[in-house]
Amino acid sequence: MSAETGWSEAVDSREAVAAPDPTRFSHPDTVAVLAGRRSGGAELAPSLHPTTTFRIPSLESGRRMALDPTESHYYTRNGNPTVRAFEEAMAELEGAEASRAFASGMGAVSCVILGLCSSGDHIVAQRQLYSGTQFLLQAVCPRFGIDVTFVDGTEPGAFQAAVRPGKTMLVFAETPANPCLDLVDLEELGAIRGPLKAVDATFAPPSITRPLDYGVDLSLHSATKGLGGHNDATLGVVSGSAELMASLWAFAILQGANAAPFDAMNGLRGLRTLGVRLERQSATAQRLAEALSDHPGVETVRYPGLASHPQHQLAKRQMRMFGGLLAFDLARGHDAGERFVEAVKLAQIATSLGGPETLVTHSASTTHAGLSPEELAAAGIGPGTIRISVGLEHTDDVVADLLHAADKANA
C-alpha cells in the first residue's frame, strides 16, 4: 500500500530535529524547560511508554541489557524510556552524571539507606527529618544491625563530630527540613571526608539549591512535591555519580520501587514550569511570612527568607529563592491550631506540598502524628505549629485568607 500512496516514504523521510542542548545553558529554569529530550523524537511533550517489556534483538544482547543500569528498553522495572526521559532531565538539572526515579520519595530514601548500608554500618542523620525517613532510620535500620546517631543539623560541626571513622557509611541530611525549615550548611556537609553524604532537598528543588554543587554525593527528592508540582504524580528521584547510581540501581531493581511511566511523564511535564512556580510561591510565601510575623496571634514564623530566621545568612548563601514552605506557631497552642485550620476558606487541609493549591497542615495531628511529645519537641514541633505550602493562587488572596484564619485562631 505504502509503495503506491507514498505514505511510507512520507513517514520514513522525517528528519531528526535536534532539541536545543540544555548543557549550553547554566540557569536551572532554562535547563528545566530543555532537559530530558535527548532520546526523544520531534515531539515537545513527553511520550508515554506504558509497556512493561521490550523485544530483545538476541539472547546475547539480552544478557548485556539485563545487567546495564543505563538500559531503558529491556524491562520496565530496570528502566523505561518515559522514566528515563525524566531521569535524564533530573540529572541535567542537578548537575549529576545520572539519576534514578522511584515510585515515591520514600522509595528513593529507602533505596539510598538500605542499598548503601549493611549490618555493622553506622549512619549519622539529623534530628529534623521527614517523619517517614525518621521512622526508617529509627525503627527499621536497627532491625538490620545499622546503627544511627541523630544530631542537630543546624549546629555547626554536629555531623562531622558524630562520624566514626571507618564505621560511618552515610551522613543523611534534609534541607530545608520538615516541618520547621531548619537549614543544613551544605558547604560544611560536603566537606566531610569518609562517609557518603546524601541530602533530601525536597523543599528546595534545583531552581533553588543543587546539593551536588557543594560536594554532596547524592541529592534526593520526593518529586511528588515541588518537582512534579501538580499533585498528580507519586515519584521519587536520586542523583549522583554514574558509579554510585549504578550501585544503587543494583539494589533498586530488587527493591522494586521503580517509577511508573505515567507518573514520570507527569513529573517531566511538571519540571517544565519549575522556575515560574517556585518564583510565584516564594514571592507569596515571603509576603505571607512578613504579614504573619506582624500578627498578634502568631508567635514565631519560620521562613528562610525572613531576616528573623536564625539561619537567614546561610539561606542567602545556598538558596536562590526561599521556597513556598513556611511554618509558624500560634500563640494559643493546640486549640488555636484547630481553630486556624477550620477557619481557612481558600487554603485546603491536606498533607503534601509544592502543588498549585495552598495547603495547611497542623503538624502535631497529621504529618508527625506518630511522634511522642518528646520527639515532637526535639523536632521543634509545638502544639500550635502550622505548616503552610503556598500554592499558585494570587498572592493577595492567599495572604488575606491566612490572616483571616489567624484572626479567628486568636479570637
H-helix or E-strand spanning residue 34: helix 28-34
Q: Which of 31, 91, 106, 158 binds ligand PLP (CB under 6 A)?
A: 106
**Of the two residues 311 and 389, which places its CB atom closer to ligand PLP in the complex?**
389
Q: Give yes or no for a contact between 221 and 200, defined as CB atoms under 8 angstroms apart.
A: yes
In the bound complex, what is the minimum distance in angstroms from residue 344's beta carbon to ligand PLP?
Answer: 21
Binding of residue 105 to ligand PLP (CB under 6 A) = yes
**CB of residue 3 to ligand PLP, shortest distance in Å:** 52
Question: According to CB under 6 A, which residues from 190 to 219 bind ligand PLP?
Answer: 200, 202
From the CB of residue 23, how many other CB atoms can be counted at a distance below 10 Å?
A: 10
Q: Is 146 helix (H, G, I), strand (E, B) or coil?
A: coil
HSE toward the beta carbon, residue 69, CA cutoff 13 A = 20
Q: How far is the CB of 395 from ligand PLP (least distance, A)?
A: 23
Catalytic residue flag (residue 130)? yes
* Binds ligand PLP (CB under 6 A): choice among 49, 127, 197, 225: 225
**What SS3 class is residue 117?**
coil
Element (H, E) at 151: strand 147-151
Residue identified by cell 532539541 is 19
Site for ligand PLP in 231-270 (CB under 6 A): 234, 236
Catalytic annotation on 225?
Answer: yes
Pair 285, 326: CB distance under 8 Å: yes
Single-letter code of the amino acid located at 273: T
C-alpha cell at 322: 526561599
Q: Which of 216, 173, 165 minimizes the C-alpha distance to 194?
A: 165
- Of 91, 150, 149, 82, residue with least CA distance to 121: 149
Distance CA 20, CA 305 (A): 34
Closest to ligand PLP by CB, 134 vs 311, is 134
The span from the CA of 410 to the CA of 388, in Å, is: 18
Nearer to ligand PLP, 22 or 391 (CB): 391
By CB neighbour count within 10 A (0-12 exposed, 13-18 middle, 19+ buried), where does 120 fall? exposed
- Containing 325, the helix (H) or strand (E) segment is strand 325-330
Nearest CB to ligand PLP, comparing residues 130 and 340: 130
Name the active-site residue from 225, 277, 280, 320.
Answer: 225
Binding mask 121-140 for ligand PLP (x = CB under 6 A): ---------x-xx-------
Say whether residue 358 binds ligand PLP (CB under 6 A): no
Active-site residue, from 121, 200, 217, 263: 200
Listed residue (366, 312, 373, 331) closest to 176, CA to CA: 312
Of 228 and 382, CB closest to ligand PLP: 228
Question: Nearest approach, Cβ of 12 to ligand PLP (angstroms)?
Answer: 42
User: Residue 222 interacts with ligand PLP (CB under 6 A)?
Assistant: yes
Q: Which of 130, 277, 302, 329 is catalytic?
A: 130
Q: Nearer to ligand PLP by C-beta: 255 or 410?
A: 255
Q: Peptide bond before 176: cis, by omega within 30 degrees of 0?
A: yes
Q: With CB under 6 A, what is the number of residues at the site for ligand PLP?
A: 16
In the bound state, the residue with its beta carbon closest to ligand PLP is 105
CB of 38 to ligand PLP, least distance (A): 26
Residues 6+ apart with CB under 8 A from 302: 180, 181, 309, 326, 327, 328
Among 77, 269, 332, 408, the one annotated catalytic: 77
Q: How far is the CB of 179 from ligand PLP (least distance, A)?
A: 9
Segment 162 to 191, residues that bind ligand PLP, using CB under 6 A: 174, 178
Pairing of strands 168-174, 196-200: parallel
Give the nearest distance from C-beta 185 to ligand PLP in angstroms.
18
- Annotated active-site positions, please? 77, 130, 200, 225
Contact residues for ligand PLP, defined by CB under 6 A: 104-106, 109, 130, 132-133, 174, 178, 200, 202, 222, 224-225, 234, 236
